[in-house]
Structure 1
Amino acid sequence: MPGKPAPDVVAGSTVLITGAARGMGELYARRAAREGAAAVALWDVDQDAAAAVAADISAQGVRADAFRVDVSSPDAVRDGVAATRERLGDIDILVNNAGIVRGVPFWEHDVHRDIDLTMRINALAPMWLTREVLPAMMADRSRAKRILNIASAAGTIANPNMSVYASSKWAVIGWSESLRLELARSGHDHLAVTTFCPSYVSTGMFAGARGPLLTPILTPDHAVEAAWTGMIAGRPIVSKPWTVKLGMAARGVLPTRAWDWAADRVFQVYSSMDHFTGRKGA
Structure 2
Amino acid sequence: MKPEERKLPLAKKVALVTGGSRGIGAAIAKRLASDGADVVITYARDAKAAASVTEAIEKYGVKALAVLADGGNAEAIRAAIAKAVETFGHIDILVNNAGTAIPKPFEQATLEELDHILNLNVRGVFVATQETLKHMPEGGRIISIGSSVGERTMTPGLAAYSATKGAVKMFTQGLAREVGDRKITVNNVQPGPIDTDLNPASGDWAAPQLATTSLKRYGHVDEVAALVAFVAGPDASYITGANLTVDGGTNA
Alignment TM class, shorter chain as reference: 0.7 to 0.9
Residues 1:237 and 2:243 are matched in the alignment:
yes
| Alignment correspondent of 2:186 | 193
Matches of 2:96 and 2:222 in 1, distance apart? 17
Amino acid at match of 2:116: L
Counterpart amino acid of 2:246? K
- 1:10-65 deviation per Cα after TM superposition (whole angstroms, max 9, x unaligned): 1111110011111111111111211111x210111122211221123224421101
Question: Would you say 1:205 and 2:204 are equivalent positions?
Answer: no
TM-score calculated relative to the size of structure 1: 0.76
**Residue of 151, 155, 158 corresponding to 1:156:** 151
Q: CA deviation at 1:241?
A: 3.5
The Cα of 1:102 is off from its aligned counterpart by 1.0
| Residues 32 and 229 in structure 2, CA contact (< 8 A), matched pair in contact too | no
Query: Is 1:28 matched with 2:66?
Result: no
Task: Name the residue aligned to 2:175.
Answer: 179
Change (3 A) 1:23 1:242: closer
> 1:212-246: per-residue Cα shift (whole Å, max 9, x none)?
15253211111221232134314322112363453
Q: Which runs of 5+ in 1 are unaligned?
A: 1-6, 247-282
| Residues 9, 237 of structure 1: alpha-carbon distance in 2 compared, 3 angstrom cutoff | farther
Q: Does 1:123 align with 2:122?
A: yes
Q: For the residues of structure 1 that align with 2:71 and 2:47, how far apart are their CA atoms? A: 13
1:100 Cα shift?
0.8
Q: By how many angstroms is 1:174 displaced?
A: 0.8
Give 1:59-208 correspondences, 5 Å limit: 59-112=59-112, 114-137=113-136, 140-141=137-138, 144-159=139-154, 160-184=156-180, 187-189=181-183, 191-207=184-200, 208=203
Which moves more between the two structures, 203-212 or 151-160? 203-212
Native 8 Å contact 2:8 2:35 kept in 1: no
Superposition CA RMSD, Å:
1.9
Q: Is the contact made by 1:194 and 1:231 (CA closer than 8 Å) also made in structure 2?
A: no
% same residue: 28
Equivalent-residue separation in structure 2 for 1:10 and 1:229 (angstroms):
10
Q: Given residue 203 of structure 1, which amino acid in structure 2 is its aligned partner?
A: T
- Structure 1 residues 213, 20: CA separation in 2 closer, same or farther (over 3 Å shift)? closer
Counterpart residue identity of residue 42, structure 2? W
Q: What does residue 272 of structure 1 align with?
A: none
Task: After TM superposition, give the deviation of residue 118 of structure 1 in Å.
Answer: 0.8
Give the aligned residue type for 1:176: T
Aligned length: 231
Verify the 8 A CA contact 1:153 1:198 in the aligned structure 2: yes
Encode CA deviations 1:107-148: one digit per residue, 9 max, x unaligned. 211211x101111111111110010011332xx33xx31111
CA distance change for structure 1 residues 158 and 132 in 2, over 3 Å: closer, same or farther?
same
- For residues 52 and 241 of structure 1, what CA distance do their matches in structure 2 show? 28
Distance 1:120 1:172 in 2: 12
Closer/same/farther in 2, CA of residues 229 and 60 from structure 1, 3 Å limit: closer
Cα 1:36–1:8, aligned 2, differ >3 Å: closer, same or farther? closer
2:245 aligned counterpart, secondary structure: strand
Q: Specify the SS of the correspondent of 2:135.
A: helix
Structure 2: 5+ residue stretches without partners: 1-6
User: Structure 1 36/94 Cα, relative in aligned 2: closer, same or farther at 3 Å?
Assistant: same
Are residues 56 and 240 of structure 1, via their aligned partners in 2, closer, same or farther at CA, if it must alter by over 3 Å? Answer: closer
| d(CA) in 2 for partners of 1:136, 1:76 | 17
2:49 is matched with which residue?
49
Query: Distance between the aligned counterparts of 2:11 and 2:251, measured in 1?
Result: 32
Structure 1 residue ranges, 4+ long, deviating more than 6 angstroms after superposition:
none
